[in-house]
Amino acid sequence: MGFCLPVCKILRRGKYFVLLFLSLSLLAWIATFSGETVKSIQLSSATTQSLIRADSLTDKFKSWTATPEDLNTPPPKHECPQESPLLKGAVKLSFESSLKLKDVETENKGVTEGECEPVDCKARQSVAILIPHRNRERHLLYLLHHLHPFLQRQQLHYAIYVIQQAGDVTFNRAKLLNVGYLEALKDFSWECFIFHDVDLVPENDHNLYVCDNQPKHLVVGRNVTGYKLRYKGYFGGVTAMTKNQFLQVNGFSNTYWGWGGEDDDLRIRVEIQKMKIVRPPADVARYTMVFHKRDSGNEINKDRMRLLGRTPQVWRKDGLNSCSYKTLSVERLPLYVNVTVDIGKPQS
């Protein structure tokens, strides 16, 4: 017994310790478990809310994590003035035989892949210039040389498209212009189109390459015709039509192979739609036509009068909506987009 007393005391106290330890563990476990439950309940309701607020949170997050570039983004540009302060009026044109494509590229460093826009204001119109072309390289060079600075002085957003007819089948200016319209719209939603002969160089930058609420004929006079309008309904050389005006007339006819008639056909389409051709004043709508002879492969179209007679009957199904062609290449050169197409051949 003398030995048992202290040992039994320790054992009895130990029992309390064990009990105390067990109850503390139980309390700790209950506390942890209930904490998790509360947390998971809170989380599930928060998930719904966080879904709802996801957008605004993303925005906030973006603003917190904005990079220095974002912060340096310039404010939106103001619209360019109604009349560009850069216009010079009548300019002296030069046609140097020594001119090289490289020179014109160097003079137009602000142009990328034929496209340019004003640096410090927002252009009033986005304009695609469409040039039908085959074997007139020299003329194209002179035109690019004058047209790029001319369009920049007018503070336009513009791009130049050259549509090359592949092969040596008879030339079809009108169909190439339809192709140009369709191809250019794949790049950008141009609101205005200028259909432009390769050999006509504008002499006065007040002749604005923008569209009006009516189709516009820009060539009142040429050096070769004593700067006189050829005839009242004349609609050849350079014309400006909005995307919708051109769509409304179903574009050009595709059936004029060889020289002549296609410009009058377009005028008939415009008249059928009750639109009225407008022209800038004669003293600004002046052009120099680079001298040329009739090209081989573009002989006079003897069928043109017959074709013009049936325009009112066929315009709905002959035009943009029936223009079939095969694009052979689209080259994005520094000064223009070069679209080479196979447009087929006349149907005999």
Active site residues: 197, 199, 259, 262-263, 289, 292, 294
Question: Between 88 and 292, whose beta carbon lies closer to ligand UD2?
Answer: 292
Cβ neighbours around 283 below 10 Å, total: 14
**Residue 219 interacts with ligand UD2 (CB under 6 A)?**
yes
**Residue 132 interacts with ligand UD2 (CB under 6 A)?**
yes
Q: How buried is residue 235: exposed, middle or buried, by Cβ count under 10 Å (0-12/13-18/19+)?
A: buried
**Residue 171 interacts with ligand UD2 (CB under 6 A)?**
yes
- Could you tell me which stretch among 98-106, 131-139, 206-214, 338-346 binds ligand UD2 (CB under 6 A)? 131-139
**CB of 259 vs ligand UD2, minimal distance in Å:** 5
| Positions in 147-206 near Mn ion (CB under 5 A) | 199
Question: Between 115 and 199, whose beta carbon lies closer to Mn ion?
Answer: 199
**β partners of residue 196:** 238
Single-letter code of the amino acid located at 169: V
**Residue 170 interacts with ligand UD2 (CB under 6 A)?**
no
Of 188, 208, 139, 198, nearest in space to 163 by CA: 198
**Residue 318 interacts with Mn ion (CB under 5 A)?**
no
**Residue 117 interacts with ligand UD2 (CB under 6 A)?**
no
Which listed option, ligand UD2, Mn ion, none, makes contact with residue 263 (CB within 5 to 8 Å by class)? ligand UD2
Which listed option, ligand UD2, Mn ion, none, makes contact with residue 171 (CB within 5 to 8 Å by class)? ligand UD2
**CB of 161 vs ligand UD2, minimal distance in Å:** 12
Q: Hunting for tokens 């709905």 — which residue is that?
A: 316
Give alpha helix (H) positions in 65-159. 68-71, 101-107, 137-153
Residue from 93, 105, 135, 138 touching ligand UD2 (CB under 6 A): that is: 135
x/- letters, 195..214, toward Mn ion (CB under 5 A): ----x---------------
**CB of 167 vs ligand UD2, minimal distance in Å:** 12
**β partners of residue 133:** 164
332's enclosing H/E stretch is strand 326-332
What CA–CA distances, in Å, run from 178 to 197, 211, 252? 14, 17, 6
Beta strand 238-242 with 192-196 is: antiparallel
Q: Angle at the Cα of 111 (from 109 to 112), degrees rounded to 5?
A: 110
The C-alpha atoms of residue 217 and residue 233 are separated, in whole angstroms, by 10
**CB of 292 vs ligand UD2, minimal distance in Å:** 6
Contact 175, 144 (CB under 8 A): no
Residue from 93, 113, 214, 259 touching ligand UD2 (CB under 6 A): that is: 259
- Could you tell me which stretch among 108-116, 181-189, 259-267, 315-323 binds ligand UD2 (CB under 6 A)? 259-267
Residue from 151, 162, 198, 249 touching ligand UD2 (CB under 6 A): that is: 198
Residues recorded for the chain: 348
Q: How many residues bind Mn ion (CB under 5 A)?
A: 1
| Positions in 31-90 near ligand UD2 (CB under 6 A) | none
Residue from 117, 183, 199, 203 touching ligand UD2 (CB under 6 A): that is: 199
**Residue 262 interacts with Mn ion (CB under 5 A)?**
no
Of 205, 179, 209, nearest in space to 191 by CA: 209
Q: Angle at the Cα of 131 (from 222 to 190), degrees rounded to 5?
A: 115
Q: How many residues bind ligand UD2 (CB under 6 A)?
A: 21
Of 201, 203, 269, nearest in space to 241 by CA: 269
How far the first Cα of the chain sits from its last, in Å, is 135
Give me the residues that bind Mn ion (CB under 5 A), please: 199
Give me the residues that bind ligand UD2 (CB under 6 A), please: 132-136, 171, 173, 197-200, 219, 236-237, 259-260, 262-263, 295, 297-298
